[in-house]
């Protein structure tokens, strides 16, 4: 099995390229943040100030939680799409006699290998990342002067667990569907249409609902802690930060259910023009891929919402540069994952464009449809970001001694405008660029292509 696993990875390296790239970026960010955390804690302990040690632990924990959130969202999306792209090959393996359990083991083994590669390569790059970030953190007085990155062997294990675990968990459902779907459905590329409510799927749904309930309970617990500690206290500020992060996690968990509904609602808007109808229908029909596309950008918008809301309400004093120094890791992971998911869907997008050209559409109309598809993804991510802002406003407002309406009035609208504008530009450019890659082929060649 190991020989087949490695041989297939080499043979289809192009299919896994984006997943490996995102895994390496994630591994570098996770490892670099762990090194920064170890160094900041060592500096605080050297001074011997208990308050500094507690502050370093709280800040490091929140930053690592944000990086883990971005890593889980991004890697789960890219790994699931990578496995789905190979379903015709999996159908061929099944037709040639491979048992379902063996197929699932091979797929999960490939995912674990990719996660291990990302963790190992990321650890090597993490030292460079940490050395670049620590001077910024010192300048923003987030860590003490003289702090140096520290690495301990157990951090490699933690990095591997985060990266490989996110990759394997993300591809688990796709691997299970490949093992359970009929061979003919896989060969036709329609394995998703054969999903049944078996015990494994019911368990997965219950697990997701349990995670949703846990995140909601964490947000409620943070709100009660704020009420007990009192507005303006350090305990209230810490509870507001972690409670708002819990709201981001809650919306991310609900995104696979909310995004299709939002995409279909946007598709129903009476906006004239063929380009809009094509883009809206494409996003609505590909709602599962749309969810994977929106999720990384939602994480980025959610983190900006949480941190800059705290600054605008006086709960934290971090500047814009300090925000990038502290949460640049999570933003890099989220942004790279969003671009990767769009690039992984480029094959279907190129075939859609070829069909439009074959039907007589002009090049300007094809380009407009692609730009509008990217805009739909950005609009969906923005609406979910506003949901995060609205849901977290009672928590943030309570910590600052304001009502939820007051927190919304003082929300960081300028920063949200910047990040949503960057999301719009990124999604539109990524959709257009990925759709126009591999130029020079005829319409017939594009339509016959498999990737």
For the chain, how long is the longest CA-to-CA vector? 74
Q: What is the mean pLDDT of residues 127-155?
A: 81
* Degrees, nearest 5: CA angle 91-94-100: 115
421: pLDDT confidence band, cut at 50, 70 and 90?
very high
pLDDT at 72: 78
Q: What is the mean pLDDT of residues 286-304?
A: 80
> What is the rounded CA–CA span in Å between residue 301 and residue 423?
9
Question: b/e per residue, 312-344, with b = 16+ CB within 10 A?
Answer: bbebbebeeebbbbbbbbbbbbbbbbbbbbbbb
Copy the structure tokens of residue 437: 């890659």
Residue 165: CB atoms within 10 A of its CB come to: 18
Q: What is the mean pLDDT of residues 324-339?
A: 77
Q: Look at residue 410 and tell me whether its pLDDT is greater than 90.
A: no
Residue ranges of domains in the chain: 1-196, 199-451
Sequence-separated (6 or more) residues with CB below 8 Å from residue 347 = 85, 449, 450, 451
Q: What is the pLDDT of residues 85-99, one digit of tens each?
A: 777 888 888 887 888
DSSP 411: S
32: pLDDT confidence band, cut at 50, 70 and 90?
confident
Q: What is the mean pLDDT of residues 35-50?
A: 81
Which residue, among 387, 358, 390, 381, has the nearest Cα to 427 in the 3D structure?
Answer: 381
Q: What is the mean pLDDT of residues 62-78?
A: 77
Copy the structure tokens of residue 249: 């996690």
Q: Is the dihedral of CA 429, 413, 230, 225 positive or negative?
A: negative
pLDDT at 110: 85
pLDDT at 451: 52
Dihedrals phi, psi of 351, to nearest 5 degrees: -70, -40
Q: Look at residue 131 and tell me whether its pLDDT is greater than 80.
A: yes
- 388 contacts 248 by C-beta, under 8 angstroms: yes
Q: What is the pLDDT of residues 159-199, one digit of tens each?
A: 888 888 888 887 887 788 778 877 777 776 655 555 566 66
pLDDT at 424: 92
CA 28 from centroid of its chain's CA atoms: 16
Kindly write down the DSSP assignment for every residue of 102-158, as one continuous string: HHHHHHHHHHHHHHHHHHHHHHHHHHHHHHHHHHHHHHTTSS-TT------HHHHHH
- Tokens 């919306």 locate to 251
Residue 363: CB atoms within 10 A of its CB come to: 10
Q: What's the whole-model pTM score?
A: 0.80
Q: Look at residue 54 and tell me whether its pLDDT is greater than 80.
A: no
- 325 contacts 137 by C-beta, under 8 angstroms: yes
Taking each helix axis from N to C end, the angle separating 50-85 and 234-267, rounded to the nearest 10 degrees, works out to 20
Q: Look at residue 327 and tell me whether its pLDDT is greater than 80.
A: no
> What is the rounded CA–CA span in Å between residue 451 and residue 446?
9
- Tokens 């939820």 locate to 404
24: pLDDT confidence band, cut at 50, 70 and 90?
confident
442: pLDDT confidence band, cut at 50, 70 and 90?
low
Q: Look at residue 387 and tell me whether its pLDDT is greater than 90.
A: yes
> What is the rounded CA–CA span in Å between residue 133 and residue 383?
31
pLDDT at 14: 66
Q: What is the pLDDT of residues 297-316, one digit of tens each?
A: 888 898 888 878 877 877 76
Provide the H-helix boundaries in 286-412.
287-312, 320-344, 346-358, 363-400, 404-409
Average pLDDT of the chain is: 80
388: pLDDT confidence band, cut at 50, 70 and 90?
very high
Q: Look at residue 332 and tell me whether its pLDDT is greater than 60.
A: yes
Q: What is the mean pLDDT of residues 18-41?
A: 84
Q: What is the mean pLDDT of residues 77-92?
A: 80
């Amino acid at each position: 099995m190991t020989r087949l696993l490695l041989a297939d990875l080499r043979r289809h390296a192009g299919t896994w390229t984006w997943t490996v790239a995102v895994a390496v970026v994630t591994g570098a960010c996770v490892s670099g943040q762990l090194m920064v955390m170890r160094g900041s804690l060592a500096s605080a302990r050297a001074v011997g100030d208990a308050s500094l040690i507690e502050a370093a632990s709280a800040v490091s924990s929140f930053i690592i939680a944000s990086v883990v959130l971005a890593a889980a969202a991004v890697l789960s999306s890219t790994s699931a799409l990578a496995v789905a792209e190979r379903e015709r090959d999996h159908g061929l393996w099944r037709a040639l006699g491979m048992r379902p359990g063996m197929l699932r083991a091979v797929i999960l083994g490939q995912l674990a290998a990719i996660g291990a590669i990302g963790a190992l390569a990321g650890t090597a790059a993490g030292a460079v990342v940490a050395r670049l970030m620590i001077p910024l953190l010192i300048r923003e007085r987030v860590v003490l002067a003289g702090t140096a990155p520290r690495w301990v062997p157990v951090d490699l294990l933690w990095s591997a667990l985060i990266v490989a675990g996110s990759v394997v968990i993300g591809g688990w459902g796709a691997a299970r569907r490949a093992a359970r779907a009929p061979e003919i459905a896989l060969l036709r590329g329609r394995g998703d249409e054969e999903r049944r409510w078996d015990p494994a799927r019911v368990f997965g749904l219950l697990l997701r609902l349990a995670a949703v309930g846990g995140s909601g309970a964490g947000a409620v617990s943070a709100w009660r802690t704020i009420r007990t500690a009192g507005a303006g206290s350090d305990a209230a500020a810490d509870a507001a930060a972690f409670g708002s992060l819990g709201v981001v996690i809650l919306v991310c968990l609900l995104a696979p259910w909310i995004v299709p509904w939002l995409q279909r609602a946007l598709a129903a808007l009476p906006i004239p023009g063929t380009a809009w109808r094509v883009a809206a229908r494409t996003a609505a029909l590909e709602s599962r891929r749309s969810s994977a596309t929106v999720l990384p950008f939602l994480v980025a918008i959610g983190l900006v919402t949480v941190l800059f809301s705290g600054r605008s309400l006086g709960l934290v004093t971090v500047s814009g540069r300090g925000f990038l120094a502290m949460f640049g890791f999570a933003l890099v992971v989220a942004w790279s994952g969003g671009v990767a998911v769009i690039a992984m869907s480029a094959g279907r997008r190129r075939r859609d464009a070829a069909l439009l050209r074959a039907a007589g559409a002009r090049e300007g109309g094809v380009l407009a449809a692609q730009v509008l598809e990217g805009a739909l993804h950005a609009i969906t991510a923005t609406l979910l970001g506003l949901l995060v802002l609205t849901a977290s406003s009672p928590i943030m407002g309570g910590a600052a001694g304001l009502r939820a309406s007051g927190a919304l009035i003082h929300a960081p609208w300028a920063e949200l405008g910047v990040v949503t504008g960057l999301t719009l530009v990124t999604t539109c450019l990524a959709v257009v660029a990925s759709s126009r890659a591999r130029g020079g082929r005829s319409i017939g060649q594009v339509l016959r292509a498999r990737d």
